Structure formats: C-alpha cells, structure tokens
A = this chain, B = another copy of it.
Amino acid sequence: MMTLYHSPLSPPCRTVRIMLAEKGIEAVLQEEKAWERREAFLAMNPAGTLPVLEDDQGLPVAELWPICEFLEEVFPERPLIGTDPYARAEARRLLSWFEHKFAHEVSELLLEEKVVKRITRRGQPDSGALRAARHNIRYHLDYVGWLSERRSWLAGDELSVADISAAAHLSCLDYLGDVPWEDFPAAKDWYARFKSRPSMRSLLSDQLPGLSPPAHYADLDF
C-alpha cells in the first residue's frame, strides 16, 4: 500500500488526499512534522516540504505537482486532469491558480498566522497579514463562483484537479472559520456540491488538538 506523508491542514496535502480518494486508491496517512526536518524525510524530499507519496515499492514521489501527474499516469482509469490537451491545460492552469496565486494571496497567509505560528510557538498572528488574506479571499470566491456558473465544474465539463485543489484550500480556511460563504452564493453552491462527495469525508473528520472547526465545517447542508 502507498503512504502519504502529510499534514492535516496543508492544502497541497489535502489535494492529494482527495485525488487518491477520487481515484479509489487506498493509502496510509502518515502525519509528518516537516519543520522538524527528520533525516529519513529529507532523504525522500530534499526540499523538506509536504506532501510526499511513497509508493508500494517504497519509492518516493515528492511535491504536489509531480504527485498529481504521477497518480494520473499510473492510475489513468479515472482521469482527473482532463481528457484532451486543452482540457488538461485548463485544469492545470487552475491547479496553478489555487496552488500558487490563491496560496500566496490567501491560504498561506491565514495558515501561517493562525496555525503554523501557534504550533511552532512563534508569537501572535500579524493582524495586517490576516486583513490582507480576508480581503483577497473575496476576489477568489468571486472567481470560483464565476467559473461554476459557466461550467459544470471549475475547469469544464468534468470534475478535475482544479475543483480538488480549490476544495482543498477552501476546506482548510473553512476549518478556521475564514470563508465568508454567505456573501458568495455561487461559490457556496459549488462547494456544497463538492463537499458531499465521499472523497471529502476523511478531511471533514480531521480534528486538530486544541483547534476546533466551526459547527458548519463538516455539515453537508451548511
């Protein structure tokens, strides 16, 4: 069986968890405190970042993008990166949007200030960073809503890594109570639809010690 080295509130780790579940691949989840820079972990990924997937032969695949492409190549039965070159380009463009632009402008700020600083005991959240992230998320929720009103799923007719990555990021922020769903009904509809998928179940039952999610986090009719 494969092993996914992950952290519960890491959006790229959640992207891989959902992708594994959508493809029906069983994997052991192994929590990794990447900041401890464990030697055996650095041997798998010298960059020291999560996620890392170890396949059933013990071979590591490191970093989000390589893992997504690896899973798509090795388990092609349920395609999640589109089925023709242009659909694939669009799914990947949006994966890049969420993993870079959204991460940079929203999720990394909120998670760094509210979670990482707390775990690593590096002081209080910076209110300027929180304010910037809460401002930026509105523009992104608008974009999610705009896409979902024009297409069946974010990248087109089929559910893809675009939806998976968006749901991974937004589910982390939803755990922190930082998604203003009520102001963005189209984005909320899309997320309610995605959240009810069996592939989301494991994420919705995550519980971090000392940090509880709001009541609506795991509620499918939020």
Contact = CB atoms under 8 A, between A and B. Distances in A.
A146 to B, nearest CB: 10
Interface in A79-136: 85-86, 88-89, 92-93, 96-97, 100-101
Contacts of A74: 85
A45 interface: yes
Interface residues of A, number: 25
A140 B63 CA distance: 18
B66 A93 contact: yes
A73 B81 CA distance: 13
Interface of A: 45-47, 59, 61-63, 65-67, 69-70, 73-74, 85-86, 88-89, 92-93, 96-97, 100-101, 143
A73 B82 CA distance: 13
A69 B92 contact: yes
B88 A47 contact: no
A45 B93 CA distance: 9
A60 to B, nearest CB: 8
Contacts of A69: 69, 88, 92
B70 A89 contact: yes
Contact of A88 (B45, B46, B59, B70): B70
A65 B65 contact: yes
Contacts of A93: 45, 47, 61-63, 66
Contacts of A46: 97, 143
A193 B69 CA distance: 29
B59 A86 contact: yes
Contacts of A59: 86
A102 to B, nearest CB: 10
Contacts of A66: 88-89, 92-93, 96
Most buried by B among A45, A85, A97, A143: A85
A67 B61 CA distance: 21
B73 A61 contact: no
Contacts of A97: 46-47
Given A47-B101, A65-B65, A97-B47, A73 B88 contact: yes
